[in-house]
Structure 1
């Protein structure tokens, strides 16, 4: 195993950043398999490909590993969800509204219902009593931020006359409920079909 020492300051910095990321990724994988109580730092070190002392040089204890690994994964999930609705920032033409909304809805489903997203929610809920602040942080990243981004894009569509005048926050809640509710009831449903069906219902209520 290579030493943390390097002859170049830049390489040392990159090495530490890469090792820290490997540790967080390894911790997330182990916590997903074992849960918080059954996971051990030695297994996390093995998953990350580093020595156990290296783990402790980056994060002080198992609680810190859990918090930072889950928050880092939640940040990735939230960023993908926000990116999913970014194309709606520029209002599509009247004939392009349905396909544009459907594409954004499918991307949003893919971002919020993939394995990493499900695992983040499971881990946050499993330890919500012990780490209530972590559960709140995960909710902020994977639910509230994407909701705010979607509400902003829907408000732009209202201003452009692509949707009828409405409360964009409420409209965003309705669209998200249509999307996630479909997969909650039919987890094996095709995501493209689920997105198209949700947009059909949404436009029947909010179409111009």
Structure 2
């Protein structure tokens, strides 16, 4: 889902093979994307060299460790306009995105109103992302608790079944012993244990 997109100038990071740190135009898209490992849609900053270019120049993931700051750079020009007012540098109004977890940082510049709109929209979406994550984690914890309770009840049921089976088996053994005690002993068995032959009572 695309939230906002447009042309911005990005401050060079100095990490390319030439170590350049000058400002570069980029077609920037701020989106919500679903990707593995995240329970909710997460915001991304995707930079292209131009609209329609299939492969991005850079993708920056925003998360709970992301901080966005509006920055007004100190003017470095002494140029004056026809009224004698200082001419404001074109790249004075910036916003910086910092991921404190990975130390990744990007600085973009735009006219004041556009800069403020970008900073507001990104901050708003970061807040919404945190709320979505809280709800997703709470739901996950409830699910884990419910599953744990189900397993606990199942274990109790299994324990009761085992106990009932043991009681039933014990009762059956007792009944078998009583039945065996009432059964007449065979002559061979009586002789083996030294008992006299059984004599039937006279009729």
TM range (shorter): under 0.3
TM-score, normalised to structure 2's length?
Answer: 0.24
More strand by share: 2
- Report which structure shows greater RCO (CA 8 Å, sep ≥6): 1
Q: Which protein shows a greater Rg?
A: 2
More helix by share: 1
